[in-house]
Amino acid sequence: MSAVPAPPAAAGTRRAAKWDLTALLNAADPRAPLAERHLWLVRLTEWLRSDPGVERDAEQTPLPVLRLRHLLNVLERHAEHRERVVGLLARFWGEIDVASLFAEIGHGQRMSLFAELRQRLALRLLPATPETRDLSELFALLFPAPGDAAWLRAVDEPTLLRLVDLARASVPAAEGDPQRWRGPLLQAATFLATGIAASGFAAPLRLRMDAERVAADPFRQLVPATEALLGALREGDEARALGGMPYLHALLDTCGEAADSVYRHLEDHGVSVDIVYEVEQIKSRLGRLRDVLACLVSPAAARDVARMLADLADVAQRRRSIRSLLARHYSLLARKMTERHAEVGSHYITRDRAEYRHMLHAAAGGGAVIAATTYVKFAVAAAGFGLLWTGFWAGVNYALSFLVVMLLGYTVATKQPAMTAPAMAARLQRQMGDDAIEGFVDEVTHLIRSQAAGIFGNLALVFPLVLAVQLAWRLAFGAPLVGEAKAEYVLHSLTLLGPTALFAVFTGVLLFASSLVAGWVENWFVFHRLDSAIAHHPRIVDRLGAARARRWAAWWRRNVSGVAANVSLGMMLGLVPALLAIAALPVEVRHVTLSTGQLAAAVGALGWEVFALPAFWWCAAGIAVTGVLNVTVSFYLAFKLALRAQQVEVRERARIARAVRRRLRREPLSFLLPARG
């Protein structure tokens, strides 16, 4: 066997480091089993990617391209090696399903986002085998590196033509079929067209498409039009194929417009991530069918096929990404959630003295309700339930209290940020010009002032009411309702010297999470048209009467988000710490209004002397920090979600920050109190 000069492999490469080109070519065996032949191809592509030990040329050609040229040079000089490789490739082309690469890679077999998620998890967690006849599966093993697409695009024309000659040698043209290479592409076009038509006929999409877009029935016409063009290509009638191309492209455009019209329906009637996934699959197949047809009729077919292979290498990389899948298909759901929150959140932003006074009154009412919640919380803790049941009943207490606050038209300050953040993001999206910066700073000022009013109103009533109950109970029964032992525990737990700040951040995350639950529940309610079901379902109408059923439907449509937000927040505040404690993670809730009520109860139990204790003032400082962190963490998370969902790119952040600082220097009180007039 003749030795083949090859640059040494770098020691840092993994399996490819064990193989130099001589060893690889000597190992090429056309008679080996299928798995071993495919593994040889995998090792060859690994060798192409490994450091070749040679310098780049003046044009900075990618290293795999340099190695590819070296491989072709060796095969052209050594007939024995070329014969081995050609024989192996001949068996490869004869046994592999090439059409699956062009038709299936990047496309789910079942129209379900969760099925695709399971598939991607399997791709990431389970090892793949080269023992397959599906080229779409083997392709991911051949080109697994993120940079593969880049060097495939960088293959120059002379090198590409030499590769084509090697491929032709391994796949001789059949008699009467000089363009046998078209076979897999023709099959792929058929598979793609039938897949598009099947998806377009599916009821979840068909019923949501715009009637004008599907009036001409483009999905029904797509398959016969595609087959007519492919038949012309099989018969070698290039002129007829080119003549049918404009009509087929028009059908593809109409199918794409019909698929896009589904988004408008979803935005108006609720979002389903599975339907979004199906629409994306149709659009992806439409784009792939265009690429395949372009290759079939291209005068430079080799270059176009190579470009498509590079694109497929990119697709194979994205196919392994779970984050990109979820981000893409949940973006519409997130946008609808933030848009609905923006509509609600705008009501929580005060812009004049009248609105400011209304916010103070509403927050004071919320503080009064939370005062009662504080005593129920102490009662639940003293009842002696197990850890999980204590958390459950605490959650029920919080949830019922928040619902009462909502139904009475009051407010709890810490629930505002997750609603107001989307409203701020929506304004930033609409006003990105230079003249809008001052207007946006005005909104920032209004927002901070509104949050301050909410906290002031909550605390202004919760502290004196809890303290008054403690003192009244002491006068009536000789002892406070909450005893000294509990009061000492409050002073120990709420202090800023402990983990209060971390627990406040954790509570801010729960506040944000409740807004996500509210948005998801409202979208689910709208998507399933439950308001219409409540108003018109025969059994409900028989039970409630037509007028009352319509009123109930309208009430739930207006309030389903608020009910979901309050119930989910209350249950999370009670249950999540209990569940974490069971898992040996001692995390507690630090809610500014509830903490203030607990501190007031401690003052009522220990007497006025507590004001002389440093522990009290450390608790007061802890409550101040808790309020800031509750608000800022939940607002920050909601604002970031809103910006991403609405695809806002803030390029003027520095200017906005300078404008806010300038307003703070000139009018610091405007962030706390509304201006006169």
Q: Is there a single domain that holds both residue 282 and residue 411?
A: no
Residues 582 and 482 in one domain: yes
Both 161 and 285 in one domain: the answer is: no
pLDDT of residue 664: 82
Predicted confidence (pLDDT) per residue in 307-353, tens digit: 999 999 988 888 777 776 666 656 656 666 655 555 555 556 777 78
Same domain, yes or no: 599 and 631: yes
Alpha helices in 298-431 (DSSP H): 301-319, 322-345, 353-382, 387-407, 417-430
Q: Which residues contact 480 (CB under 8 A, 6 or more apart)?
A: 470, 471, 473, 474, 601, 604, 605
* Number of structural domains in the chain: 3
Instruction: Kindly state whether residue 462 falls inside one of the protein's structural domains.
Output: yes
Q: What does DSSP assign to residue 676?
A: P
Q: What is the pLDDT of residue 550?
A: 94
Task: Collect contacts of 500-503 with beta carbons under 8 A, ≥24 apart.
Answer: 500/590, 500/622, 500/625, 500/626, 501/622, 501/625, 501/626, 501/629, 503/587, 503/588, 503/589, 503/590, 503/626
Type of residue at 465: L
Q: Is 493 helix (H, G, I), strand (E, B) or coil?
A: helix
Name the token pair of 625: 């920090």
Tokens for 84?
A: 């081995």
The residue among 153, 172, 191 that closes a domain is: 172
185 and 42 co-located in one domain? no
Residues 269, 361, single domain; the answer is no
39 & 133 share domain: no
Q: Determine the residue type at 581.
A: A
- HEC string of 22-45 equals HHHHHHCCCCCCHHHHHHHHHHHH
User: Are residues 624 and 480 part of one domain?
Assistant: yes
HSE, side-chain direction, 13 A CA sphere, residue 251:
22
In a domain, 548, yes or no: no
Same domain membership, residue 199 and residue 84: no
Same domain assignment for residues 160 and 202: no
* Domain around 286: 108-137+175-320
pLDDT at residue 442, rounded to an integer: 78
Torsion 634-637-640-644 (CA) sign: negative
User: Rounded distance, CA 381 to CA 385, Å?
Assistant: 8
Within a domain: 215: yes
How large is the C-alpha radius of gyration of the chain?
34
Query: What pLDDT score was predicted for residue 159?
Result: 92
Q: Is residue 552 part of a domain?
A: no
Tens of pLDDT, residue by residue over 387-432, are 899 999 999 999 999 999 989 988 887 666 555 655 666 666 554 5
In a domain, 101, yes or no: no
- Tell me what pLDDT residue 122 has: 77
Predicted pLDDT of residue 397: 95
How many DSSP H helices and E strands does the chain contain? 28, 0
Which one of 320, 342, 359 terminates a domain?
A: 320
Enumerate the β-bridge partners of residue 177: 174
Query: Is 569 within a domain?
Result: yes
The pLDDT score that the predictor gives to residue 322 is 72
Last residue of a domain, one of 320, 349, 367: 320
Tell me whether residue 401 is in a domain: yes
- Considering the domain architecture, whether residues 152 and 213 belong to the same structural domain is answered as no
Claim to verify: residue 276 and residue 398 sit in the same structural domain? no
Structure tokens belonging to residue 139: 């392709």
> Which ranges of the chain have pLDDT less than 70?
1-19, 51-59, 109-113, 172-179, 324-348, 414-436, 642-654, 675-677
Instruction: Give the DSSP letter of residue 97.
Output: B
